Amino acid sequence: MKKEDKSAIIEQIKATIGEYSHFYLADVEGLNAEQTSNLRRQCFKEEIKLIVVKNTLLEKALEGLETDYSPLYDILKGSTSIMLSNTGNAPAKLIKDFDKTEKIGKPALKAAYVEESFYIGANQLDALVNIKSKNELIGDLIALLQSPAKNVVSALKSGGNTLHGVLETLSKK
């Protein structure tokens, strides 16, 4: 491959990674054509972009980005695919569900960059499945803050209904 072609691919990888807020590095080696098609189809349904890349080109692309991705460089061995998503836990759920249906242990999680944190190793998959996005955490916080106010309002409403019932009963007597 010519140097100009490599530079173009590196720039394309950098641009693609820049479009998404989260990415996973996975090993999909050993999948047959049908399994690969099923994986790509599921990725498309979940709005996950799946790209197979050369490790050296990916490393050069990561070096050219503003964030320091050096913790990922050691795992760039063997077959590597990038799963890009704007939802932090979507690729982890897809990997887990795909493994349940196919039962071949692939795709195997190598590492992930989610919510500005690094997760290295397949043992991090369960943690990634349960991770919440920033927006989900903000929603949970707002719900917790609204809960006491809702309780006060409902207590006042129920108290008003009780008082109204007592007055109505007294007026009938």
Domain boundaries, the chain: 3-131, 132-173
DSSP code of residue 58: H
Residue that the structure tokens 């916080």 belong to: 141
User: Cβ distance 113 to 52 under 8 Å?
Assistant: no
**Local confidence pLDDT in tens for the 173 residues of the chain:** 788 888 888 888 888 888 888 888 888 887 788 888 888 888 888 888 888 888 888 888 888 888 888 888 888 888 888 988 888 788 888 888 887 777 777 788 888 888 778 888 888 777 777 777 677 778 878 887 877 766 666 666 665 566 666 667 777 76
Q: Beta 49-53 vs 22-27: how paired, if at all?
A: unpaired
Q: Spelled out in words, what is the top-level CATH class assigned to the domain 3-131? A: alpha beta
Question: Over the stretch 130-170, which tens digit does the pLDDT of each residue have?
Answer: 777 677 778 878 887 877 766 666 666 665 566 666 667 77
Amino acid at 56: T
At 104, is the secondary structure helix, strand, or coil?
Answer: coil
Residue that the structure tokens 């979940």 belong to: 46
The pTM score is: 0.71
